Amino acid sequence: MSTIRLDPDRVMATLPRQAISGVGEVWLKVERVARDGEPGERLFAQDLLDRIAESCTHRAAVDPSFKLLTPAPSMAGETTTHGLLKFWGYTVGNRGGFTASRRDVLDHVFAAERLPPVYHPAYLERWGGPESAKRLLFMAKALAAFIADRRRNDSHSAAIREWRADLEHLRTSYHGGRFDFPWPTPPR
């Protein structure tokens, strides 16, 4: 049972006053209900997610101050600051989440039917469809790039260990026997 009560009129009325980060927070809350709520709530929330996406598209087209997120690329085209994994709560290292919560995020992102509309469509296109080779490869390359970008900094050793473990989780859970692309191997 969800702990969030959805009032679609109230949600939609607040969106025009929200910055992109606020719209993202609202979308995440509604997405959780669409995923974890009671059956009636899920359908209702899915409809509301469509309305939020339409609102973002419209607002980005007519309001120059409403900029959809386009993360600055690292080697894999993903960043730890504003990327899609971070948006869904993926964190590692000293301030990171427990293994189970990180893996839950990775598993959810891999299977997610909807991606947050607060990101530019060109960025979301790079993620591919749910449970696709394109999405898995993008996620794996992102984790490998995080490792490569920070491997020379001892203060990131815990994060690097967790990224390596999570990369292995993706490989063993989704890649083997299902997809034939070469698995990214981060430098040691």
- Amino acid at position 125, single letter: E
Domain boundary among 49, 67, 85: 67
- Walk along the chain (188 residues) and give the pLDDT tens digit of each residue: 444 567 888 889 999 999 999 999 999 999 999 999 998 899 999 999 999 999 999 999 999 999 898 886 554 444 434 789 999 999 998 777 799 999 999 999 999 999 999 999 999 999 999 999 999 999 999 999 999 988 777 778 889 999 999 999 999 999 988 999 999 998 88
Structure tokens at 123: 């960025």
80 and 133 co-located in one domain: yes
Give the position of tokens 């996620």: 139
Calpha distance 90→105 (Å, rounded): 6
- Alpha carbon of 105 to those of 6, 16, 37, 44: distances in Å? 23, 29, 17, 23
Using left for φ > 0, alpha for ψ between -120 and 50, and beta otherwise, residue 93 falls in left
User: Which of 21, 44, 67 is the endpoint of a domain?
Assistant: 67
| Domain that includes residue 89, residue range | 70-188
What is the value of pTM for the model shown? Answer: 0.87
Residues 55 and 112 both lie in one domain: no
